[in-house]
Structure 1
Amino acid sequence: MSPTTETLTAERILEATEEVLRRHGPAKATVVDVARALGVSHGSVYRHFRTKAALREAVTKRWLDRTSQALAGIAADEGRDPEARLRDWLRALFEAKRRKAGHDPELFATYSVLVDESGTVVEEHLAELTAQLTGIVEAGVAAGSLASADPAATAGALFHATGRFHDPCYAGEWKRPEIEGELEAVLDLMLRGLRAPVR
């Protein structure tokens, strides 16, 4: 066994896969290309990922997890006011998606294709994001600052209402200079509607 093969990890394979996808795109990228980039046989890659589909799904999950992990800290920050957390979480979601689209457009376009192939991975990602939002809404209800009879349904509604600011199909709009003001207007409207009435 060569030293290269001994140190081969799933993480190294996923990093190489991202580079291959960036260079060749999802239609032309192959497991052989990934193996070549790593200096190993394609059989070595298959020992970690049994199929090309499994590799593509894993690299998509890794990409989506970066966003949910970045937002988890905001969602879990119980020392902050839930309304401020909610606003910051939705802003951070927008910024994370916009950064991905703007800083690496080739890979963003590639992932937009892969996301369509990875239904379960995408569903899990969306469930994780809405669970984070649900936790923030629940904290607001418990603190008496937000009103919601069903925090999970409210979180789902908030997520869908802000889709224009995080759904990749709207990425073309995110470069517009007025987009941040539009997001703030939507957040103001939603948060006014969620505030618990003052007694």
Structure 2
Amino acid sequence: MPPPSEPLTPERILAATEEVLRRHGAAKANVVDVARALGVSHGSVYRHFATKAELRGAVTKRWLDRTTALLADVVAGSEAPTAKLRHWLSALFDAKRHKAGDDPELFATYTVLTTEQGGVVDAHIDELIGQLTVILQEGVAQGEFAIEDLPVTARALFEATAHFHDPVHAPEWSRPDAQGAFEAVVALVTRGIAARPA
């Protein structure tokens, strides 16, 4: 239990919530468990998060934001657009595969939470598609990609690779042929948007 003098912050509450979720799962974890882990009353938690649903939404966003931040670093990098697109798709697949494989109980818990938190997930997907749009825009500007509608193409790319980042497909990510299948899809989509020589 943390020292009582340590201030209660939203970040501390979210970190404790994640630990409670890891121990108890989404069905059994509650605000009282989080408060107990922090050594405070459940009323103190409610002063930061008005409802259990708000707390669950915030912890889900925190979990998803880790992937968004990792991918933002790829977008900000100096690679050529085609290489950057491949890197971004690979980083997304790797991040999801590690979450599923490294901590399967927590991944299963967050899979339940993301089903409950549709708005949080939609915002996350919009952020990811926004990142893809930036990469595609760079590719068009540098003559690597031939794309007429950037947002539509970014969404299509995201959906075309869903097998490698949608949690519903997680059981297949550890198969021996998963990496080869991923690389084949990435080669296909990058070829599909490549600018043709004049």
Q: Give me the TM-score of the superposition, normalised by structure 2.
A: 0.97
1:16 maps to which residue? 16
Q: For the residues of structure 2 that align with 1:154 and 1:103, how far apart are their CA atoms?
A: 32
2:147 maps to which residue? 148
Residue 44 (structure 1) shift: 0.7
Identify unmatched segments of 5+ residues in structure 1: none
**Conserved in 2, the CA contact under 8 Å of 1:5 and 1:44?**
no
Structural mapping, 1:1-199, within 5 Å: 4=4, 7-77=7-77, 79-199=78-198
Cα deviations across residues 112-138 of structure 1 (Å, max 9, x unaligned)? 010011111111000000000000001
Equivalenced residue count is: 196
**Conserved in 2, the CA contact under 8 Å of 1:71 and 1:92?**
yes
**Conserved in 2, the CA contact under 8 Å of 1:61 and 1:121?**
yes
Q: For the residues of structure 2 that align with 1:192 and 1:26, how far apart are their CA atoms?
A: 41
SS for the counterpart of 1:23 is helix
Cα distance, 1:86–1:57 mapped onto 2, change above 3 Å: same
Cα deviations across residues 26-82 of structure 1 (Å, max 9, x unaligned)? 1111100000011111011111111101000000000000000100011122x2200
Identify unmatched segments of 5+ residues in structure 2: none
- The CA RMSD over aligned residues, in Å, is 1.0
Residue 154 (structure 1) shift: 0.8
Q: For the residues of structure 2 that align with 1:26 and 1:10, how far apart are their CA atoms?
A: 19
SS for the counterpart of 2:159 is helix
Cα deviations across residues 117-173 of structure 1 (Å, max 9, x unaligned)? 111111100000000000000110010011100111111110000000000000000
SS for the counterpart of 2:79 is coil
SS for the counterpart of 1:48 is coil
Q: For the residues of structure 2 that align with 1:181 and 1:76, how far apart are their CA atoms?
A: 27
Q: For the residues of structure 2 that align with 1:64 and 1:172, how far apart are their CA atoms?
A: 19
SS for the counterpart of 1:50 is coil
Residue 6 (structure 1) shift: 5.4
**Conserved in 2, the CA contact under 8 Å of 1:68 and 1:125?**
yes
SS for the counterpart of 2:173 is helix
